[in-house]
Amino acid sequence: MSDFIIETKNLTKQYGEQKSVASLNIHVKQGRIYGLLGRNGAGKTTAMKMLLNLTRPTSGEVQIFGKSIQGNEKKILPRIGSLIEAPGFIRT
């Protein structure tokens, strides 16, 4: 079993000639908090979508809870909560 709750190995997403995410390697230990920082278009949302199996990587691997997300979606995804790109505002 892995020491990491989230692990990516050379995770890549390419749209035509444009690489949105290139060879991303993340290792997150249980109980830790990480943030993805970068300018607009840096690939943060695409990386999160690949972690949640909302979009398939062009290449590379995602492991959550020590298991590949591919083929284990029904076991893994119910254990995850996420909120991606929820623009909000407050009216006063």
Annotate the chain with three-state secondary structure. CCCEEEEEEEEEEEECCEEEEEEECCEEECCCCCCCCCCCCCCHHHHHHHHCCCCCCCEEEEEECCEECCCCHHHHHHHCCCCCCCCCCCCC
Q: What is the model's pTM? A: 0.85
For 16-31, what is each residue's pLDDT tens digit? 999 999 999 999 999 9
Local mean pLDDT, 10-residue blocks, the chain (92 residues): 89 94 95 90 93 94 94 93 71 62
Q: Domain segments of the chain: what residues?
A: 4-79
Please return the burial class of 47, using the count of CB atoms within 10 Å of its CB with bins 0-12, 13-18 and 19+.
buried
Superfamily for domain range 4-79: P-loop containing nucleotide triphosphate hydrolases (3.40.50.300)
